[in-house]
Amino acid sequence: MDKDRFPGFDLRGRTALVTGAGQGLGKWIALGLAHAGTDVFVVDLNGTNAEATAGEIRGFGRRSSFKAVDVGDAESVSRMIETVSNEFGGLDIIVNNAGVNVHKKAIDMTPEDFDFIVRVNLKGVYFCCQAAAKLMIPKRKGTIINIASASAFLVRAGVPNSVYAMTKAGIVMLTKALAEEWSAENIRVNAVAPGYFATPLVADRLADPDVYARIVGSTPLKRVGKEYDIVGAVVFLASDAASFITGQTLCVDGGRTIL
């Protein structure tokens, strides 16, 4: 097959780093990238969870190691990237998935709550992007994928989400700004905006029949996302099949953001 005519989705021979990869979306993404051929450096605040994910990846026959990292601490992020460089010899793909939320109404949000969310969701993503680019620029090649949210584009009536939504909207614009700045270095920067997915963090809500009915009722495809839904989007954006795509946010939400 003519490789110049047909796009390639094969990621063999590449190295990826995924933050927040101890459970949920981050774990699925890390495993999906490994299945597509990458060696994966697993990062999570919970070292035990990170170690478990790395073990599963090695079960695929890929190289994997892990590190417990607070991505809101820029110095820890720098050390993380140094470790990746030393252990894997470089970095081709980073997925900035780590994120937090505080479920409070805007009137009740404290400065401490605000700082906690912004520190991880915006500062963490920003300096992870910066640190990764320092490895990618000398090689003039790399792919950065930021995890935003459908909350960057819409609100849900009766669900207070002001600070979280603000940070996820910020990721969308950060993705555009970095894509433009680093395009000259042949680094692509894109984002994925998930809707509702069946992760451990929302398992209790999805178990409530009324809540589940409201969620699928506002989703045109009438279901929540599954593991392969997020994996497919990330593997595509990481692959050469997406080589002419940068600065974009792909909504993987069953159609929620079109309503």
Residues that are catalytic: 164
Compute how many other C-beta atoms are within 10 angstroms of the C-beta atom of residue 138. Answer: 9
User: What is the Cα Rg of the chain in Å?
Assistant: 18
User: Which residues face 94 on adjacent strands?
Assistant: 17, 144
Listed residue (161, 46, 68) closest to 113, CA to CA: 161
Cα separation, 184 vs 31, in Å, equals 31
Q: CB under 8 Å, gap of 24 or more: what pairs does 196-205 form?
A: 196/224, 196/225, 196/253, 196/254, 196/256, 197/24, 197/25, 197/224, 197/225, 197/226, 197/229, 197/230, 198/224, 198/225, 198/226, 199/23, 199/24, 199/25, 200/23, 200/24, 201/23, 201/24
Are the beta carbons of 220 and 196 closer than 8 angstroms? no
Cα separation, 90 vs 218, in Å, equals 42
Tokens describing residue 250: 């792909």
